[in-house]
Amino acid sequence: MKTIEKIDFKLPGQTGHYSGKVREVVAVDNQYLMMVVTDRISAFDVVLPRGIPYKGQVLNQIAARFLDLTSDIVPNWKIATPDPNVTFGYRCEPYPVEMIVRGYLTGSSWRTYNSGERSICGIPLPDGMKEHQRFEKPLITPTTKAEQGAHDEDISAGEIVSSGLVSEKEYRELERISMELFLRGSSIADERGLILVDTKYEFGKRDGKIYLIDEIHTPDSSRYFIKDEYEERFAKGEPQKQLSKEFVREWLIERGFKGDAGHPVPEMDDAFVNSVSERYIELYETITGERFEKSDISTISERIRNNINSFLSEFENVNQQQ
């Protein structure tokens, strides 16, 4: 049950350190970021009390793969992956919104619809829709990027532009890129027998250009259905088999937890923790078509520190020679 849930070391050239829900992000020389993807897991914007073995490796390696497979659509922040849990890349100025693309009425969008609402982020929805129903065309439903510990909030495109969060020209470009990324991810998923249901993208600016940042098409940022089971399950009104962390949210909801302040997180026993780990590995192998190679986690923190230090030393030597 070895996991990494925090880093307790300082990097050469470190100029800043931010702890997100899942990632430890270290600024290097004010130009680059070293992102350590921990085994922490969050739901309802709450970090759960136990880490999930190999989860960080799964997220990091899937994200790195999809950053490479979409670099022709938009440049991204990645430079290298010096460790299975680590990505090193350019520091960008993030946009204050996240771009959510939804192909199906599922998850939080279904919970909102089922409560009686008939619009998401200013986009009207018809009466009579069912859970997991496919939209006629994918919807872009942005959210604000909340401060740590707060909830992201739905926001319409008009509100983003009118409030000055993003200019209209740049926002339309973010929409265009997001849709292209979603279609690319959907095509890759289809080849693997999956449906990319919904996902989120984050963007930043570097040297005046839009860059894709953070993770992409991972089970933390995306939801997948099994393609050949979808139609039959939908017709029967049965739950879809999901390769995402929605099952973690459902597990918490069944135990009365929805992230409300003051409500204790249900106890996560070994069996549940291992089942979550297995689901993450299952998604990796399904979406990549490759066997997941478990890294050595016997001394995971030391392994990560040594790999990062070796990489930074070599990176600095290369830069000095150029």
pTM of the model: 0.89
288 has pLDDT over 70: yes
Q: Where are the alpha helices (DSSP H) in the chain?
A: 55-69, 108-114, 157-162, 168-191, 227-236, 246-254, 270-288, 300-321
Residue 88 CA to residue 91 CA, distance in Å, equals 9
Summarised one tens digit per residue, pLDDT across range 105-154 is 998 899 999 999 999 999 999 999 999 999 999 999 999 986 654 567 89
Architecture of the 94-247 domain: 2-Layer Sandwich (3.30)
For residue 262, what pLDDT band results from cuts at 50, 70 and 90?
Answer: confident
Pick the CATH number of 14-93+267-321 from 3.40.710.10, 3.30.200.20, 2.40.40.20, 3.30.1360.150: 3.30.200.20
Q: CA-CA distance, 198 to 118, in Å (whole number)?
A: 19
Give me the mean pLDDT over the 62-66 stretch. 96
Query: How many other CB atoms are there within 10 angstroms of residue 104's CB atom?
Result: 23
Confidence of residue 44 (pLDDT cuts 50, 70, 90): confident
pLDDT attached to residue 205 = 97
Residue span(s) of the chain under CATH 3.30.200.20 come to 14-93+267-321
With CA atoms as reference, report the closest residue to 67 among 75, 59, 55.
Answer: 75
Q: What is the pLDDT of residue 15?
A: 94
If pLDDT is split at 50, 70 and 90, which confidence band does 282 have?
A: confident
Residue range(s) occupied by CATH 3.30.470.20 in the chain: 94-247
Q: Residue 302's pLDDT is what?
A: 94
**Reported confidence tier of residue 272, pLDDT bands at 50, 70, 90:** very high
Among 62-66, 229-233, 242-246, 287-291, which is the least confidently predicted range? 242-246
pLDDT of res. 38 = 97
Per the CB < 8 A criterion, the answer to whether 159 and 119 are in contact is no
What does the pLDDT look like over 196-218, one tens digit per residue? 999 999 999 999 999 999 999 99
pLDDT class of 8 with cuts at 50, 70, 90 = confident
